[in-house]
A and B are shown apart, each in its own frame.
Chain A
Amino acid sequence: DVKVTQSSRYLVKRTGEKVFLECVQDMDHENMFWYRQDPGLGLRLIYFSYDVKMKEKGDIPEGYSVSREKKERFSLILESASTNQTSMYLCASRTGGSGNTIYFGEGSWLTVV
Protein backbone atom coordinates (compact mmCIF):
# COMPACT_ATOMS: atom_id res chain seq x y z
CA ASP A 1 0.00 0.00 0.00
CA VAL A 2 1.10 3.53 -0.74
CA LYS A 3 1.91 5.43 2.38
CA VAL A 4 2.04 9.22 2.65
CA THR A 5 3.19 10.26 6.09
CA GLN A 6 2.91 13.71 7.59
CA SER A 7 5.21 14.12 10.53
CA SER A 8 2.92 16.17 12.75
CA ARG A 9 -0.82 15.71 13.22
CA TYR A 10 -1.36 18.66 15.53
CA LEU A 11 0.76 21.78 15.95
CA VAL A 12 0.29 25.03 17.83
CA LYS A 13 2.58 27.88 16.82
CA ARG A 14 2.85 31.55 17.66
CA THR A 15 2.38 34.38 15.19
CA GLY A 16 5.64 35.14 13.44
CA GLU A 17 7.20 31.73 14.00
CA LYS A 18 8.72 29.78 11.14
CA VAL A 19 6.84 26.53 10.65
CA PHE A 20 7.90 23.38 8.82
CA LEU A 21 5.42 20.72 7.78
CA GLU A 22 7.06 17.54 6.55
CA CYS A 23 5.68 14.91 4.22
CA VAL A 24 7.24 11.62 3.13
CA GLN A 25 5.95 9.09 0.60
CA ASP A 26 7.28 5.60 0.12
CA MET A 27 6.23 4.77 -3.46
CA ASP A 28 8.79 6.68 -5.52
CA HIS A 29 6.13 9.08 -6.80
CA GLU A 30 7.27 11.94 -9.01
CA ASN A 31 4.51 14.33 -8.03
CA MET A 32 3.85 15.68 -4.56
CA PHE A 33 1.32 18.27 -3.42
CA TRP A 34 0.43 20.46 -0.50
CA TYR A 35 -3.24 21.38 -0.02
CA ARG A 36 -4.96 23.52 2.54
CA GLN A 37 -8.43 22.50 3.72
CA ASP A 38 -10.91 24.98 5.14
CA PRO A 39 -14.64 24.51 5.85
CA GLY A 40 -16.78 25.34 2.86
CA LEU A 41 -13.77 25.94 0.64
CA GLY A 42 -12.75 22.34 0.12
CA LEU A 43 -9.10 21.73 -0.63
CA ARG A 44 -7.01 24.40 -2.27
CA LEU A 45 -3.62 23.71 -3.79
CA ILE A 46 -0.72 25.63 -2.29
CA TYR A 47 2.25 24.18 -4.19
CA PHE A 48 3.16 21.07 -6.04
CA SER A 49 6.40 19.48 -7.16
CA TYR A 50 6.91 17.22 -10.17
CA ASP A 51 10.54 16.36 -9.50
CA VAL A 52 13.38 16.95 -7.07
CA LYS A 53 14.06 20.68 -6.69
CA MET A 54 11.16 21.47 -9.05
CA LYS A 55 8.04 23.27 -7.86
CA GLU A 56 5.06 25.12 -9.17
CA LYS A 57 2.65 27.47 -7.47
CA GLY A 58 -0.88 26.36 -6.91
CA ASP A 59 -3.92 28.52 -6.28
CA ILE A 60 -2.87 30.02 -2.93
CA PRO A 61 0.93 30.14 -2.66
CA GLU A 62 1.16 33.48 -0.83
CA GLY A 63 2.79 33.16 2.58
CA TYR A 64 4.15 29.69 1.85
CA SER A 65 7.25 28.15 0.34
CA VAL A 66 8.25 24.54 -0.31
CA SER A 67 11.34 22.42 -0.50
CA ARG A 68 11.98 19.14 -2.26
CA GLU A 69 15.57 18.06 -1.87
CA LYS A 70 14.81 14.33 -2.07
CA LYS A 71 12.21 12.57 -4.16
CA GLU A 72 10.39 11.09 -1.20
CA ARG A 73 10.17 14.24 0.91
CA PHE A 74 8.21 17.45 0.34
CA SER A 75 8.23 20.18 2.95
CA LEU A 76 5.86 23.10 3.38
CA ILE A 77 7.31 26.19 5.03
CA LEU A 78 5.48 29.07 6.60
CA GLU A 79 8.17 31.74 6.85
CA SER A 80 6.25 33.84 9.36
CA ALA A 81 3.08 32.18 10.55
CA SER A 82 -0.06 34.25 10.78
CA THR A 83 -3.43 33.51 12.38
CA ASN A 84 -5.10 33.27 8.97
CA GLN A 85 -2.91 30.28 8.25
CA THR A 86 -4.66 28.27 10.93
CA SER A 87 -5.97 25.34 8.94
CA MET A 88 -5.70 21.67 8.06
CA TYR A 89 -2.83 20.91 5.68
CA LEU A 90 -2.90 17.83 3.51
CA CYS A 91 0.03 16.35 1.65
CA ALA A 92 -0.50 14.09 -1.36
CA SER A 93 1.52 12.21 -3.94
CA ARG A 94 0.97 10.65 -7.34
CA THR A 95 3.08 8.89 -9.87
CA GLY A 96 3.48 10.37 -13.35
CA GLY A 97 1.26 9.72 -16.33
CA SER A 98 -2.42 10.27 -16.84
CA GLY A 99 -5.12 8.62 -14.86
CA ASN A 100 -3.14 7.69 -11.78
CA THR A 101 -4.69 7.99 -8.38
CA ILE A 102 -3.51 10.60 -5.91
CA TYR A 103 -2.81 9.44 -2.35
CA PHE A 104 -3.24 11.63 0.69
CA GLY A 105 -1.60 11.81 4.07
CA GLU A 106 -3.63 12.01 7.26
CA GLY A 107 -3.31 15.78 7.50
CA SER A 108 -1.65 18.26 9.84
CA TRP A 109 -3.84 20.55 11.88
CA LEU A 110 -2.00 23.83 12.46
CA THR A 111 -3.21 26.43 14.91
CA VAL A 112 -1.45 29.80 14.92
CA VAL A 113 -2.06 31.87 18.05
Chain B
Amino acid sequence: AQTVTQSQPEMSVQEAETVTLSCTYDTSESDYYLFWYKQPPSRQMILVIRQEAYKQQNATENRFSVNFQKAAKSFSLKISDSQLGDAAMYFCAYRSDAGNMLTFGGGTRLMVKP
Protein backbone atom coordinates (compact mmCIF):
# COMPACT_ATOMS: atom_id res chain seq x y z
CA ALA B 1 0.00 0.00 0.00
CA GLN B 2 1.10 3.51 -0.68
CA THR B 3 1.88 5.88 2.14
CA VAL B 4 2.42 9.61 2.14
CA THR B 5 4.34 11.36 4.92
CA GLN B 6 4.49 15.04 5.74
CA SER B 7 7.06 15.45 8.48
CA GLN B 8 6.28 19.08 9.34
CA PRO B 9 3.00 19.48 11.25
CA GLU B 10 3.43 23.26 11.29
CA MET B 11 5.50 25.81 9.42
CA SER B 12 5.64 29.56 9.54
CA VAL B 13 6.98 32.07 7.07
CA GLN B 14 7.32 35.81 6.94
CA GLU B 15 5.21 37.56 4.34
CA ALA B 16 7.11 37.92 1.02
CA GLU B 17 9.59 35.19 1.99
CA THR B 18 9.91 31.69 0.55
CA VAL B 19 8.92 28.49 2.31
CA THR B 20 9.28 24.82 1.40
CA LEU B 21 6.91 22.11 2.59
CA SER B 22 8.20 18.54 2.58
CA CYS B 23 6.51 15.36 1.43
CA THR B 24 7.77 11.84 0.98
CA TYR B 25 5.88 8.84 -0.29
CA ASP B 26 6.31 5.15 -0.64
CA THR B 27 5.20 3.17 -3.67
CA SER B 28 6.32 0.30 -5.83
CA GLU B 29 4.60 1.69 -8.91
CA SER B 30 6.30 3.61 -11.68
CA ASP B 31 3.34 5.58 -13.03
CA TYR B 32 1.49 7.83 -10.66
CA TYR B 33 0.42 11.38 -9.89
CA LEU B 34 1.33 13.63 -7.00
CA PHE B 35 -0.67 16.58 -5.79
CA TRP B 36 -0.53 19.43 -3.35
CA TYR B 37 -3.86 20.59 -1.98
CA LYS B 38 -4.56 23.70 0.05
CA GLN B 39 -7.31 23.84 2.64
CA PRO B 40 -7.98 27.36 3.96
CA PRO B 41 -10.02 27.92 7.11
CA SER B 42 -13.22 27.87 4.97
CA ARG B 43 -12.44 24.13 4.55
CA GLN B 44 -12.80 23.98 0.74
CA MET B 45 -9.93 21.84 -0.53
CA ILE B 46 -8.25 23.45 -3.52
CA LEU B 47 -5.77 21.89 -5.91
CA VAL B 48 -2.52 23.85 -5.88
CA ILE B 49 -0.31 21.88 -8.21
CA ARG B 50 -0.01 18.49 -9.86
CA GLN B 51 2.95 16.43 -11.03
CA GLU B 52 2.92 13.43 -13.34
CA ALA B 53 5.63 10.95 -12.35
CA TYR B 54 6.66 10.34 -15.95
CA LYS B 55 7.56 14.00 -16.38
CA GLN B 56 11.05 14.94 -15.31
CA GLN B 57 10.32 18.64 -15.39
CA ASN B 58 9.09 20.05 -12.12
CA ALA B 59 5.60 21.54 -12.23
CA THR B 60 5.10 25.25 -11.56
CA GLU B 61 1.98 27.36 -11.04
CA ASN B 62 2.77 31.03 -10.56
CA ARG B 63 4.34 31.34 -7.09
CA PHE B 64 4.07 27.61 -6.43
CA SER B 65 6.59 25.08 -7.63
CA VAL B 66 7.59 21.56 -6.75
CA ASN B 67 10.85 19.71 -6.39
CA PHE B 68 10.06 16.19 -7.56
CA GLN B 69 12.78 13.65 -6.84
CA LYS B 70 11.44 10.35 -8.15
CA ALA B 71 14.33 8.15 -7.02
CA ALA B 72 14.18 9.62 -3.52
CA LYS B 73 10.35 9.53 -3.53
CA SER B 74 10.26 13.13 -2.47
CA PHE B 75 7.82 15.83 -3.55
CA SER B 76 8.29 19.19 -1.86
CA LEU B 77 6.26 22.36 -2.44
CA LYS B 78 7.96 25.75 -2.63
CA ILE B 79 5.90 28.88 -2.12
CA SER B 80 7.66 32.06 -3.22
CA ASP B 81 6.74 35.59 -2.18
CA SER B 82 4.41 34.25 0.52
CA GLN B 83 1.14 36.09 1.01
CA LEU B 84 -1.25 36.23 3.94
CA GLY B 85 -3.77 34.32 1.85
CA ASP B 86 -1.38 31.37 1.63
CA ALA B 87 -2.06 30.56 5.28
CA ALA B 88 -3.80 27.18 5.28
CA MET B 89 -3.40 23.46 5.75
CA TYR B 90 -1.45 21.90 2.92
CA PHE B 91 -1.85 18.26 2.01
CA CYS B 92 0.37 16.18 -0.18
CA ALA B 93 -1.45 13.38 -2.03
CA TYR B 94 -0.65 10.41 -4.23
CA ARG B 95 -2.68 8.57 -6.83
CA SER B 96 -1.53 5.67 -8.96
CA ASP B 97 -2.06 5.93 -12.69
CA ALA B 98 -4.49 3.03 -12.70
CA GLY B 99 -6.20 3.87 -9.45
CA ASN B 100 -9.11 5.96 -8.34
CA MET B 101 -8.12 6.72 -4.81
CA LEU B 102 -6.02 9.54 -3.43
CA THR B 103 -3.76 8.78 -0.48
CA PHE B 104 -3.08 11.83 1.67
CA GLY B 105 -0.35 12.85 4.03
CA GLY B 106 -1.15 14.15 7.49
CA GLY B 107 -0.97 17.78 6.46
CA THR B 108 1.20 20.81 7.26
CA ARG B 109 -0.29 23.93 8.75
CA LEU B 110 1.32 26.99 7.22
CA MET B 111 1.19 30.29 9.07
CA VAL B 112 2.17 33.52 7.34
CA LYS B 113 3.40 36.36 9.53
CA PRO B 114 2.82 39.93 8.40
Contact = CB atoms under 8 A, between A and B. Distances in A.
A106 B107 CA distance: 17
Interface stretch (B40-48, B66-74, B78-86): B40-48
A42 B91 contact: yes
A35 B107 CA distance: 14
Contacts of A31: 100
Interface SS of B by simple majority: loop
Contacts, number: 52
A74 interface: no
* Most chain A beta carbons < 10 A, residue from B9, B37, B102: B102
Contacts of A94: 100
Nearest to B107: A42
Contacts of B97: 98-99
B100 A106 contact: no
Interface stretch (A11-19, A44-52, A78-86): A44-52
A8 to B, nearest CB: 13
B106 A42 contact: yes
A99 B52 contact: yes
A71 to B, nearest CB: 15
Nearest to B33: A99
Interface of B: 4, 6, 9, 33, 37, 42-45, 47, 50, 52, 91, 93, 97-98, 100-107
Interface of A: 31, 33, 35, 40-45, 48, 50, 58, 88, 90, 92, 94, 98-99, 101-102, 104-107
| Chain A to chain B: the 5 pairs with minimum beta-carbon distance, closest first | A104-B45, A42-B104, A43-B104, A107-B43, A42-B106
